[in-house]
Structure 1
Amino acid sequence: MNNIEGIAEPEFEPVVRAFAATANERGGAALSIRVDGRTVVDVWHGNAAEDPALAWTEATPAVIFSGTKGLVAVLVARLVEAGALELDAPVMRYWPEFAAAGKGRITVRELMSHRAGLAALREDVDLDTALDWSSMVERLAAEEPLWEPGSAYGYHALTYGWLVGELVRRVTGVGVGQFFQEEVATPLAADAWIGIPAARQPQVARLVRGRSMEVPPPGGMPALDEEEARWMGRTMTLGAAFPADLVVPGAGFDDPRVHMAEVPGAGGIGTARALATIWSSTVRPTDGVRLLGDEIVTDMVRVQSEGEPVWWLPGPYPRWGAGFMIPSERRPFLSASSFGHDGAGGQVTFADQRHGVGFAYVTNLIELHSDDRGDSIVRALGDVLKGT
């Protein structure tokens, strides 16, 4: 089927057909789905780089961009369940330096819900600084919020990772990448990392520009005032650390240095199989592991941020709980009981409590608008599950 490789249970063939319809000769992708812990779809196609000689395989890991935020939220949930962290406690209880510049009342829940006012830094940061954990967390701890914390939300595209990751480090005593391996990846034998080992880095799929990046979006770009545009740009670049153009060969999230560093806002890497396994284990026992209980999931998927953000963008808008992206018109997922996180360029990863689903679609063919690939596959999955 369009050079699709892998396996699928017969009743899920419509989902594989939807996946095949997304195939493009310029890049590759993988899809893995578990239902009640068992693998029902595990397929892949295409190339791991623009060079057609580099085929995507079952072991190809990909950058998942903001899908990493969902993995970090899983870590926080486990700490809350263990009694090591309270969502409604002030961040300063665990990270005293964070109280500087009027931030003493910001809670962990607000920090995780993009409500802390720290979506960007006022001073430019270069890549070397962005990859220096201590430098980043010291800057963020000293920073004055850009808006009144708790009064509104603005997507913390990159800073979320250092803010919540440092909270994890303060509570556990180890870096977020190590804690992820210990608590999640290793118990599940999942090929996923926040900072991939050097020996595995050459296997990472290289980013490829999709056709939507070559043409303006339908209806043109929204009109933003100069100040809003500047701040929104800084949330994605930190001023000088990452290129404004998401796909630059060998730069930004295609840079091996970034792959191997801890950038937990957007730098996670994993195979579709690993990510589906992780998300499955948040709602059902999977390979003998259940990562989260129902009670903590219920608490952390309560709506915290929705509607128009502090820097205006046209809707439809996403919604967040505490760290987890939850269903919205912008990202419907599978049902009202879904939670997870998408990622730039087309990545879709989530769990669904009602159906017992762990889902991961990853791709190196980066599209920025008019991209229905992930949603089309999820809709096909929904149609199949209605009949089971």
Structure 2
Amino acid sequence: MGTEVVGHIQPGFEAVRDAFRAGFEETDGWGAALSIWQDGEEVVHLHGGSADPRQHKPWTDETAAVVFSCTKGLMAIIAAQLVQEGKLDYQQKVAHYWPEFDAHGKANITVAEALSHRAGLSAPRQPWSFEDLLDWSKPVNALAEQEPLWPPGSGHAYHAITHGWLVGEILHRASGTRVRDLVQQRLAQPLNADLWVGLPEDKQDRVAHIGCSQALYDLWDAEAAKDSPEQPYWPYRAMTLGNALPAALVTDTEGFNDPRLQAVEAPGAGGIATAQALASIWSAVVTPTQGVRLLQDDTLSVATEVMSQGPQIYPAPGPYPAWGRGFQLDSEVRRYLSSDSFGHDGAGGQVTFADPERRLGFAFVTNWMYGEGDPRATRIIQALKEMF
């Protein structure tokens, strides 16, 4: 007997529903949710499976998931809002807003370079601990003091976790408001969206427990073998931050399954939200949604210009992702609905994006970290693409 899928769709989206349902064939016993908004209205609202198989807890409309790097896309939206309001300038130096950042060769790094993974701070030179992540000032001060791993601006490498504190502190300094409050004031509250970067204690029971495939653990064990104190393997340390996180980002009780980390601001990977919340936000980026439009077209045209693409600083086989000013762009690595779509995906299969031509917001979230070759969101996007 297959997993029951609950929810509703508008007529014409049957193939999308079938593609969502097919995902449970690969992840039986775990959960997921899908929301799609078009022209400001929700046209797909589905969920199924388990929010916590250990407790036989079903996924419901109230279930929220850790959405990992989808959080970076939300930071990019807020950055673009501040640019739109004249409070932030993509071409301005980071140190203009954050004077302490002007150290060890970082004086000329621009906001745009920081957003697009070009700052040379993808991993800490000195290992961080888990406890460091629970105090905003510690990672922020460490990044301000660190010498870049490569000449800033000369190339790019994915700032998997450090991106959150790097960009988050820029937003904090430019606005005078801490990240958890920026998220609430600018994204969650206007759309009545269940979204948090820094989860309130009274929402803890809504968060899905994250599971991880053995294949993903094996992959990161192989990456760990490349790292040593004498010869750091920086892509691996970009995930672990030295000693702070498991390479797969979770174990049964550690990493982003730890309520202590869910409760603090970790805006590179720590956002927690429902699919409906995220899809409504991405919808509002490109079209009025519940009376809200978050960004204007001229702002988006600048924010989604290609900043980083192709081979990265640390050699790895292609295909390669592409980024604008914080936004992940359509590429061979992550195909969205069209070449004009933009958003951000996240570890374990999470995918969020907006498509301006079709005035559409999309969010797929799950608590099963499938690993390389995950077909779930890709299958849904392909079914959606075939409708247009």
| Structure 1 length-normalised TM | 0.95
Q: Please tell me whether residue 22 in structure 1 is matched to residue 26 in structure 2.
A: no
Q: Please tell me whether residue 47 in structure 1 is matched to residue 50 in structure 2.
A: yes
1:12 alignment partner AA: F
Which residue among 269, 281, 297 is the counterpart of 1:266? 269
Determine the structure 2 residue equivalent to 1:126. 129
Determine the structure 1 residue equivalent to 2:309. 306
CA RMSD of aligned residues (A): 1.8
Q: Please tell me whether residue 169 in structure 1 is matched to residue 172 in structure 2.
A: yes
Structure 2: stretches of 5+ with no match in the other structure: none
1:197 alignment partner AA: P
Alignment of 1:85-100 (within 5 A): 85-100=88-103
**Whole-angstrom CA distance in 2 between matches of 1:86 and 1:29:** 37
Alignment of 1:69-218 (within 5 A): 69-210=72-213, 212-213=215-216
Determine the structure 2 residue equivalent to 1:349. 352
Shift of 1:244: 1.9
Identity of aligned residues (%): 48
Q: Indicate if the aligned counterparts of 1:106 and 1:150 stay in contact, CA closer than 8 A.
A: yes
| Structure 2 length-normalised TM | 0.95
**Whole-angstrom CA distance in 1 between matches of 2:289 and 2:60:** 23
**Whole-angstrom CA distance in 1 between matches of 2:379 and 2:224:** 25
Q: Indicate if the aligned counterparts of 1:222 and 1:313 stay in contact, CA closer than 8 A.
A: no
Q: Indicate if the aligned counterparts of 1:50 and 1:208 stay in contact, CA closer than 8 A.
A: no
**Whole-angstrom CA distance in 2 between matches of 1:216 and 1:189:** 39
Which residue among 328, 340, 348 is the counterpart of 1:325? 328
**Whole-angstrom CA distance in 2 between matches of 1:222 and 1:177:** 32
Q: Indicate if the aligned counterparts of 1:106 and 1:116 stay in contact, CA closer than 8 A.
A: yes
Shift of 1:52: 6.1
Q: Indicate if the aligned counterparts of 2:226 and 2:233 stay in contact, CA closer than 8 A.
A: no
Shift of 1:50: 2.2
Shift of 1:312: 1.4
**Whole-angstrom CA distance in 2 between matches of 1:229 and 1:26:** 38
Determine the structure 2 residue equivalent to 1:238. 241
Classify 1:215/1:165 alpha carbon distance in 2 versus 1 (closer, same or farther; 3 Å). Answer: closer
Determine the structure 2 residue equivalent to 1:12. 13
Q: Please tell me whether residue 382 in structure 1 is matched to residue 385 in structure 2.
A: yes
Q: Please tell me whether residue 66 in structure 1 is matched to residue 52 in structure 2.
A: no
| Count, aligned residues | 383
Cα deviations across residues 240-268 of structure 1 (Å, max 9, x unaligned)?
A: 11112333011001110111110000000
Structure 1: stretches of 5+ with no match in the other structure: none
Q: Indicate if the aligned counterparts of 1:188 and 1:278 stay in contact, CA closer than 8 A.
A: yes
Shift of 1:316: 0.8
2:330 alignment partner AA: P
SS in 1 for 2:233: helix
